Amino acid sequence: MPDQTADLPDGLHRSDLRGDCARCFGLCCVALPFAASSDFALDKPAGKPCPNLQGDHRCGIHAQLRQKGFTGCTVYDCFGAGQKVSQVTFDGQDWRAGSREDARRMFEVFPVVRQLHELLWYLTEALTLPAARSVHADLRRALERTEELTLLPPGELTALDVGAHRQEVNVLLLRTSELARAEVPGRNAGKNRGRNAGKRDRRGADLIGARLRGADLSGVSLRGAYLIAADLTGADLRGADLIGADLRDADLTDADLTGAFFLTQPQLHAARGSAGTRLPKSVTRPVHWTARG
C-alpha cells in the first residue's frame, strides 16, 4: 500500500499540487488557447480572456460548463501552478492591474510551471510507493530540484528547457513503475501468469474503443496508451501504471483501480465511471459520475 507520509521538501505539501482557483487570477482562462470542438464551444487565442471569465477571476458558467459546451474546462487541472504563479512568482500581482508586458510574462510562465507541477505530482506519488524504496533517494533529489525550478524568476522560467528536465525525471518514473508493478500479483497469478507476462507492457498501445470489459490489466504499463472510448467495465486495473493514458470517454464502470499509480484527476474527469468504481486514495470520484446513476 502507498505510504502517504513520504517526506517532501520543506514548504511543499501534496495539497499545493491541486488547483486552488480562489488564489489564482484565472490564468488558465486567459493564458491557454483553445479551438472550437467537442471540448470547447468557441475559439480563443492564447493571452485573450475567455468570455466567461468574470472580473473577480471566476467562471460565469462554472456550474454549467458541460451543458454549455466547455467540457474541456472540466477535465483540466493546473496541478497548483495557477496559485504558484499568481502568489509566488508574481507576488500576488493581478495581471489586470499590471502592464501589458507583465501580463504577457505571466501568461508565458504559467504553462511552464504547470508542466513542472505535474512532474511534482508524479514524483510525490512515486515517493509513496514502498516497492520503489531503492530509488527514493534519487526521487527525492529530483523532487527537490523540480521544486527549485518552479521558484525561478520569470525570465529564467521562460528560458527553461522543460523537455530536458522531463526526460531526466521520466527515467526515474519508469524505474519506479517497473519496481511497483513487479509486486502486483494479479488475478491470473500462478500457471497463467507466464502466459500474460508479455502483455504487461502496453505503453502507447492503440486501444481506442477496445472491448476490455472484465479484462485483467493488473500491473500492466498503460503509459500513454490510447484508451479513448474503451469499455473497461469491471476491468482489473490494480497496480497499473496510467501515466499519460488517454481515458477520454473510457467506461470505468465498476472497474478496480485500487493501487493504480500516476493517475491524475483530469484523466478521471475525462472518463466515465460509477459509484462502484474503486479508486486510489490520491484522487476523488468525479461528480458527473454520480450524476449518471
186 belongs to a structural domain: no
Pairwise CA distance, residues 132 & 174, whole Å: 11
286 belongs to a structural domain: yes
190 belongs to a structural domain: no
Instruction: Please give the residue range of the domain that contains residue 214.
Output: 200-293
For the chain, the C-alpha Rg in angstroms (whole number) is 20
Residues 166 and 210 in one domain: no
Predicted confidence at residue 290, as pLDDT, reads 73
Residues 35 and 176 in one domain: yes
Pairwise CA distance, residues 87 & 169, whole Å: 26
Work out the end-to-end distance of the chain between its first and last CA atoms, rounded to an integer number of angstroms. 30
Predicted confidence at residue 12, as pLDDT, reads 63
Q: Which amino acid is at 22?
A: A
Residues 28 and 157 in one domain: yes
Task: Find the Cα–Cα–Cα–Cα dihedral 244, 282, 7, 164, rounded to 10°.
Answer: 10
Give every CB contact of residue 157 below 8 A, 6+ residues apart in sequence: 89, 109, 112, 113, 149
Predicted confidence at residue 7, as pLDDT, reads 56
Number of domains in the chain: 2
187 belongs to a structural domain: no
Q: What is the CATH number of the domain that holds 259?
A: 2.160.20.80
Predicted confidence at residue 249, as pLDDT, reads 95
Predicted confidence at residue 129, as pLDDT, reads 94
Residues 129 and 273 in one domain: no
Predicted confidence at residue 197, as pLDDT, reads 43
Residues 164 and 41 in one domain: yes
Pairwise CA distance, residues 161 & 226, whole Å: 27
Please state the three-class secondary structure of 214-274 as a single string: CCECCCCECCCCECCCCECCCCECCCCECCCCECCCCECCCCECCCCECCCHHHHHHCECC
**String of b and e for 173-205 (b: at least 16 CB within 10 Å)?**
bebbbbbbbeebebbeeeeeeeebeeebbbbeb
User: DSSP string spanning 117-131?
Assistant: HHHHHHHHHHTT-GG
Q: Assign 210 to helix, strand or coil.
A: coil
Residues 137 and 204 in one domain: no
Q: How many CA atoms lie within 13 A of 74 on its CB side?
A: 24
Give every CB contact of residue 40 below 8 A, 6+ residues apart in sequence: 34, 69, 70, 71, 72, 73
Predicted confidence at residue 17, as pLDDT, reads 92
Please check whether residue 261 is in contact with residue 279, taking contact to mean a CB–CB distance below 8 angstroms. no
Please check whether residue 187 is in contact with residue 218, taking contact to mean a CB–CB distance below 8 angstroms. yes
Q: CA dist 278 to 143, 237, 281, Å?
A: 28, 10, 10
194 belongs to a structural domain: no
Per-residue pLDDT of the chain (293 residues; tens, 9 = 90+): 444 445 555 556 777 899 999 999 999 999 999 999 989 999 999 999 999 999 999 999 998 998 999 999 988 999 999 999 999 999 999 999 989 999 999 999 999 999 999 999 999 999 999 999 999 999 999 999 999 999 999 999 999 999 999 999 999 999 999 999 998 875 544 434 443 444 589 999 999 999 999 999 999 999 999 999 999 999 999 999 999 999 999 999 999 999 999 999 999 999 999 999 999 988 999 988 875 44
Please check whether residue 75 is in contact with residue 43, taking contact to mean a CB–CB distance below 8 angstroms. no
Q: CA dist 226 to 22, 229, 274, Å?
A: 34, 9, 21
Domain boundary among 154, 181, 208: 181
Pairwise CA distance, residues 224 & 219, whole Å: 15
Predicted confidence at residue 194, as pLDDT, reads 40
Residues 242 and 170 in one domain: no
5 belongs to a structural domain: no
Pairwise CA distance, residues 173 & 141, whole Å: 13
